[in-house]
Amino acid sequence: MSDLDFQFEICQNKINPECLAEKLRSDKSLGGIVVFEGRVRNQSEGKKVLKLEYEAYKALAIQEGVKILDEARAKHPEIKSLICVHAEGELEPGELAVFVGAASAHRDEAFLGCRYVIEAVKHRLPIWKKETFETGEAHWVNCSEHHGAACN
Amino acid sequence: MSDLDFQFEICQNKINPECLAEKLRSDKSLGGIVVFEGRVRNQSEGKKVLKLEYEAYKALAIQEGVKILDEARAKHPEIKSLICVHAEGELEPGELAVFVGAASAHRDEAFLGCRYVIEAVKHRLPIWKKETFETGEAHWVNCSEHHGAACN
Amino acid sequence: MWDNNYFSGNYMSAQAPTKQIKVRYFAILREERGLDLEEISTNCETLEQLYKELSNRYRFSLEASRLAVSQNDNFAAWTDPVKHGSTIVFIPPVAGG
Amino acid sequence: MWDNNYFSGNYMSAQAPTKQIKVRYFAILREERGLDLEEISTNCETLEQLYKELSNRYRFSLEASRLAVSQNDNFAAWTDPVKHGSTIVFIPPVAGG
């Protein structure tokens, strides 16, 4: 997107939440910042999780991600800065899978915008995760009978 | 509070949000982290803000803050970590006035708990702020005819 | 000094006994009063009466209806009795965050 | 090669012309197919027909009703025509975040 304060990315490296939060803090007219961090849980379905592998259909995911940010901005025009970064590749428990941050003059729109983006990201982005348990078992989340949800 | 993961503080030094976020991230069973940062805005009522001075009735504010965290925990039992730190003293635009962070297995309760705490903090904690504009004018927010709201 | 039962019938129409209390002031009330803390003697029975007395004396800008009140670091009701030896705070409209 | 108007009356009951397309596979479909990308020739008219054909051939575990579909990096309807030269992706239930 042309506006520097609106950023959607699929990231193959580690996501640095502090670096992203600093961007949200840079405009001193924005008093309310809300950040969501979705991290890989160390357990799912009562079993210990070894790792998650995220696979993205990148061209479509970026297009859809930008569309989600546009929608959030249209619904909550007070939001002046909105960042979403989703990880790709292999992640271990505790690692950051998705970052969503919103900044606006007041808190209400920052909360609503952040929530809108994460819900849409989870339901619409063409990204998949394969969950591997410590037992060696592995499955694609939401694609098999047992629905895993190792991450938030 | 006895539980280390539940923390309420009134802080006379600068609040370090990254340090607080690290505490929220320490339990790898918690996949959803929501953080609210309330920062001093550089404008209010269309005027440029020079500074805010926060004054707290500390004994009662801490007691009430702990009560707010307890309420949030009772309403959203999935939340395993909940931190609120409010600044005291003189702050400049851009500086952090209040941090609220919630961590839970899944995102919904983290969002709801974080929101519950910040709303209660703003309506119930005996903390006041005096807003000084660049013109030299100053007033206690919410106590005079012109209601300022320099912060989120 | 005085009888803890001064609210019972015998005292209802009599002047309440004099109590020694502390009043702490914050924010706009602190500025209007010009100090943080004072020790005073009062015959007021309720916290509401006490605020009205002090407000008349010091010309506070805020109506009691816009304030909350605490006694001994706990929120209190305006109709609560003023307790001898207690510390009372009148709480202006809050503005945290 | 073929007529862009093959959906008009003349072709309705005739075999649709053969189209060259690419199919990209992700996640569980990639594993079930055993590859990321293939170029194929097909006579299928709609994306739904194409998925059913491939699903029969490769025994995909997911019903079409659980998938979405894209053509040339845009979400598409199952009833959309298969376009010659396009790249098609069948999208398993997503699980971002």
DSSP A26-71: S-TT--EEEEEEEEB-SEETTEEEEEEEEEE-HHHHHHHHHHHHHH
For residue B64, give the CATH number of its domain: 3.90.1170.40
Q: Nearest chain D Cα to A138, which residue? A: D28
- Does some domain include residue C28? yes
Question: Structurally, how many domains does chain C consist of?
Answer: 1
Report which of A23, A22, A36 is spatially closest to residue A96, judged by C-alpha positions. A36
- Does some domain include residue D74? yes
- Does some domain include residue A149? no
Can you give the pLDDT at residue B9?
Answer: 97
Question: Structurally, how many domains does chain A consist of?
Answer: 1
Can you give the pLDDT at residue B149?
Answer: 44
- Interface partners of chain B (CB pairs < 8 Å, 3 or more) are A, C
- Does some domain include residue A94? yes
Is the pLDDT reported for residue D89 higher than 70?
Answer: yes
Of the candidate ranges B142-146, C65-69, D26-30, the one whose mean pLDDT is the lowest: B142-146
Interface TM-score (ipTM) > 0.95: no
CB contact under 8 A, A126 and D62: no
* Helix or strand (DSSP H, E) at B37: strand B32-39
Residue A122's identity, in one-letter code, is K
- Strand C87-91 vs strand A79-87: parallel, antiparallel, or unpaired? unpaired
Residue A106's identity, in one-letter code, is H
C-alpha pair distances (Å), B46 with each of A25, B12, B40, C17, C95: 20, 29, 14, 52, 19
Cα-Cα-Cα-Cα torsion C19, C22, C23, C24, nearest 10 degrees, comes to: -170
C-alpha pair distances (Å), A94 with each of A111, D19, D23: 24, 47, 35
CB B107 within 8 A of CB B119: no
- Does some domain include residue A79? yes
Can you give the pLDDT at residue B5?
Answer: 87
Per-residue confidence band for D85, with pLDDT thresholds at 50, 70 and 90: very high
- Does some domain include residue A51? yes
Report which of A26, A38, A31, A15 is spatially closest to residue A110, judged by C-alpha positions. A31
Is the pLDDT reported for residue C37 higher than 90?
Answer: yes
Question: In which region does residue A135 sit, left (phi positive, over 0), alpha (psi from -120 to 50) or beta (all else)?
Answer: alpha
Annotate C54-71 with b (16+ C-beta within 10 A) or e (fewer): bbeeeebbbebeebbbbb
- Does some domain include residue D31? yes
Range of the domain at C29: 15-91
CB A150 within 8 A of CB B105: no
- Cα–Cα distance measured from residue B86 to residue D13, given in angstroms and rounded to the nearest whole number: 73
Report which of B113, B109, B89, B91 is spatially closest to residue B101, judged by C-alpha positions. B113
CA of B53, closest CA in chain C: separation in Å?
10
Can you give the pLDDT at residue B147?
Answer: 44
Is the pLDDT reported for residue D5 higher than 80?
Answer: no
Can you give the pLDDT at residue C14?
Answer: 57
Digit-coded pLDDT (tens) for D43-53: 999 999 999 99
- Does some domain include residue A84? yes
Q: Tell whether A36 lies on the interface with D, counting CB pairs under 8 A.
A: no
- Does some domain include residue A140? yes
Instruction: Mention every residue, 6+ apart, whose C-beta is less than 8 A from residue A57.
Output: A126, A127, D24, D26, D70, D89, D91
Can you give the pLDDT at residue C8?
Answer: 44
Q: Report, as an integer, the average pLDDT of A6-22.
A: 96
- Does some domain include residue A152? no
- Does some domain include residue B151? no
Measured over the CA atoms of residue C62, residue C66, residue C69 and residue C74, the dihedral's sign is: negative
- Does some domain include residue C5? no
CB contact under 8 A, A57 and D89: yes
Among C27, C61, C68, whose Cβ lies nearest the Cβ of B128?
C27
Q: Nearest chain A Cα to B92, which residue? A: A28
C-alpha pair distances (Å), B113 with each of A32, A46, B120, B122, C42: 16, 24, 11, 14, 44
pTM: 0.90
Range of the domain at B49: 3-144
Per-residue confidence band for B89, with pLDDT thresholds at 50, 70 and 90: very high
Check residues B32 and C15 and name the one with the higher pLDDT: B32
Is the pLDDT reported for residue C6 higher than 90?
Answer: no
Is the pLDDT reported for residue A61 higher than 80?
Answer: yes
For residue D71, give the CATH number of its domain: 3.10.20.30
Strand order from edge to edge, sheet including C87-91 = C37-42, C19-24, C87-91, C68-71, C74-76
